[in-house]
């Protein structure tokens, strides 16, 4: 397909991209992965280009994969702490000489570099679901250079790309692959919906038989669910929701249990801003933990996935997440999945910030 249409495009959610475009991104990711593995320099692709990275939240994988990726492509990534610049803020949320309106930040950075990547969810937007996504869209409205979503409160599209690239590598494709994204217990409820929502979008878009498992109080965004259902129709595959943790994994090829906040935790109109109630609900489901016994019920060659960081001992037992480097039988692929963040991000940056690939 033509790849010059990618140049200048924002990358905020996979819902803005076609299946064919995502397949191209995965192809480019594998090519860049091969070049990295064989020591073939490719630092001409974004030579002397700059990515500004604004992190409102912590990060290990995202920050380092973007920084390393820009170095390998011949450019440079600036880390920007919102507390050390004037915190970019939406109109109406400004504080004199402490914040700076997003429209000004976006237009200034557009004059100096080639991409703006943003991570924002949770406390910086007071857990108002969609508030961080709106911030990214406001950046996109004013920026002349691509906006890259490094995780907001709705989507984590680069994680989802790394997830489906890992599935493609392990199984050779997606058709007939049972991909189970499940809620799992964590003592912390301060977890956005971005990873599960982007994972089910990506898996259903690529053609997996996608299963979403969670207790009834942990519903995801109805718009995301509708998009997954439409993807399943497009691919002649399936998308199902279950509230039964154990049966969800029967015969699964991909086992992806991960915590997110119960619905009541979010501010109205999505939830009830009820932190104490959310904690009580959360603690009812301590048995939603991935164990080696449960992995045995999945497909013989199943893979355990997690975006990391994982809450070991709560979401998953050590003997599951550490079950890597296995020749036969089920295994954990969490480090392959983390590495793939590097390759998919390099692919997207090359396509949207660079020239013709």
Q: If we measure between CA atoms, which residue out of 253, 357, 356, 349 comes closest to residue 50?
A: 349
Residue 253 contacts ligand CP per CB under 6 A: no
User: Of the candidates 68, 85, 241, 308, which one interacts with ligand CP according to CB under 6 A?
Assistant: 308
Q: C-beta of 159: minimal distance to ligand CP in Å? A: 5
Q: What is the CB neighbour count within 10 angstroms for residue 212?
A: 27
User: Of the candidates 181, 205, 252, 307, which one interacts with ligand CP according to CB under 6 A?
Assistant: 307
Residue 154 contacts ligand CP per CB under 6 A: no
Rounded Cα gap, residues 257 and 278, in angstroms: 19
Q: C-beta of 356: minimal distance to ligand CP in Å? A: 30
Q: How far is CA 133 from CA 13, 108, 136, in A?
A: 10, 21, 5
| Site size toward ligand CP, by CB under 6 A | 8
CB nearer ligand CP, residue 106 or residue 307: 307
CB nearer ligand CP, residue 161 or residue 281: 161
Rounded Cα gap, residues 243 and 232, in angstroms: 20
Q: How far from each other are the two terminal CA atoms of the chain, in whole angstroms? A: 11
Contacts to ligand CP from residues 62-91, by CB under 6 A: 62
CB nearer ligand CP, residue 59 or residue 292: 59
- Going by C-beta distance under 8 Å and a sequence separation of 6 or more, which residues neighbour residue 15? 155, 201, 227
Rounded Cα gap, residues 85 and 76, in angstroms: 19
φ/ψ bin of 232: left (φ > 0), alpha (ψ from -120 to 50), beta (otherwise): alpha
CB nearer ligand CP, residue 61 or residue 101: 61
User: Of the candidates 4, 47, 60, 223, which one interacts with ligand CP according to CB under 6 A?
Assistant: 60
Strand partners, 189: none
User: Considering only 42-50, 60-68, 273-281, 296-304, which stretch makes contact with ligand CP by CB under 6 A?
Assistant: 60-68
CB nearer ligand CP, residue 60 or residue 326: 60
Helix (H) or strand (E) holding 168: helix 157-171
Q: If we measure between CA atoms, which residue out of 302, 189, 185, 203 comes closest to residue 255?
A: 302
Site string for ligand CP, 156-185 (x = CB under 6 A): ---x--------------------------
Q: C-beta of 152: minimal distance to ligand CP in Å? A: 12
User: Considering only 12-20, 59-67, 76-84, 212-220, which stretch makes contact with ligand CP by CB under 6 A?
Assistant: 59-67
Q: If we measure between CA atoms, which residue out of 24, 23, 22 comes closest to residue 11?
A: 22
Rounded Cα gap, residues 305 and 286, in angstroms: 20
Residue 153 contacts ligand CP per CB under 6 A: no
Q: C-beta of 260: minimal distance to ligand CP in Å? A: 13
Residue 210 contacts ligand CP per CB under 6 A: no
User: Considering only 53-61, 135-143, 235-243, 297-305, which stretch makes contact with ligand CP by CB under 6 A?
Assistant: 53-61
Residue with smallest beta-carbon separation from ligand CP: 62
Assess contact for 290 and 312: CB atoms under 8 A.
Answer: no
CB nearer ligand CP, residue 169 or residue 229: 169
Rounded Cα gap, residues 109 and 51, in angstroms: 10
Q: C-beta of 350: minimal distance to ligand CP in Å? A: 20
Residue 343 contacts ligand CP per CB under 6 A: no
CB nearer ligand CP, residue 29 or residue 237: 29
Residue 225 contacts ligand CP per CB under 6 A: no
Binding site for ligand CP (CB under 6 A): 59-62, 151, 159, 307-308
């Amino acid at each position: 397909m033509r790849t010059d249409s990618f140049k200048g495009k924002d990358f905020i959610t996979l819902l803005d991209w076609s299946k064919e475009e995502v397949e191209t991104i995965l192809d480019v990711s594998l090519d860049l992965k091969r070049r990295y593995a064989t020591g073939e320099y490719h630092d001409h692709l974004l030579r002397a280009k700059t990515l500004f990275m604004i992190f409102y939240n912590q990060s290990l994988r995202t920050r380092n994969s973007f920084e390393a990726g820009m170095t390998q492509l011949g450019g440079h990534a600036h880390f920007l702490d919102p507390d050390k610049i004037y915190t970019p803020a939406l109109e109406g949320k400004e504080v004199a000489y402490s914040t700076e309106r997003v429209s000004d930040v976006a237009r200034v950075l557009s004059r100096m570099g080639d991409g703006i990547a943003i991570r924002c969810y949770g406390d910086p937007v007071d857990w108002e679901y969609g508030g961080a996504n709106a911030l990214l869209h406001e950046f996109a409205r004013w920026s002349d250079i691509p906006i890259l979503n490094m995780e907001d409160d709705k989507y984590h599209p680069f994680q989802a790309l790394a997830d489906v690239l890992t599935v493609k590598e392990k199984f050779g494709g997606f058709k007939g692959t049972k991909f189970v994204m499940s809620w799992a217990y964590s003592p912390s409820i301060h977890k956005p919906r971005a990873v599960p929502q982007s994972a089910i979008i990506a898996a259903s878009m690529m053609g997996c038989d996608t299963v979403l498992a969670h207790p009834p109080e942990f519903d995801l965004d109805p718009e995301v669910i509708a998009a997954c259902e439409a993807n399943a129709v497009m691919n002649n595959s399936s998308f199902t929701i279950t509230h039964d943790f154990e049966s969800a994994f029967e015969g699964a090829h991909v086992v992806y249990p991960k915590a997110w906040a119960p619905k009541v935790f979010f501010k109205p109109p999505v939830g009830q801003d009820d932190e104490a109630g959310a904690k009580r609900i959360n603690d009812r489901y301590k048995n939603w933990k991935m164990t080696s016994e449960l992995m045995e019920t999945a497909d013989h060659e199943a893979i355990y996935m997690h975006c990391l960081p994982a809450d070991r001992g709560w979401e998953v037992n050590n003997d599951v997440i550490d079950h890597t480097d296995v020749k036969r039988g089920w295994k954990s692929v969490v480090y392959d999945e983390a590495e793939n963040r590097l390759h998919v991000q390099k692919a997207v940056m090359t396509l949207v910030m660079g020239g013709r690939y």
